[in-house]
Structure 1
């Protein structure tokens, strides 16, 4: 019974998380041949203030927040 545990910073919309679950489930099914009903996928979302690398949180790093839309690229004139 495969178990895949994915940890992300929070901020993705439910459709993105659902697509991730689907893609991971499909990859496990295709690569190891596990029966679909036996595959477990857990997605854990951690606040950006609770995830740190080198004593700097993701929030402090100024990395893009996946819950905020990105500005469209502007063409140079």
Structure 2
């Protein structure tokens, strides 16, 4: 199938998505800058929040609620999970 049939530009003519490129660049700059602001307290808090969000989001939200319909919640709680 030809590119004309798909109505797409060749890869060399594709424009750069500046919003995505800016976000990606700032995310990586932020990761490097975060190394200079390291504290053990922040590390433990971030690990705890990562664990809680993984447990609630996957374990309760997706698996038990959406897959098995194991319990009922208000819609706003379902959207948060």
Give TM-score scaled by structure 2 length.
0.30
Which of the two has higher C-alpha Rg? 2
The structure carrying a bigger helix percent of its residues is: 2
Give TM-score scaled by structure 1 length.
0.31
Q: Which has the bigger relative contact order, CA under 8 A and spacing at least 6?
A: 1
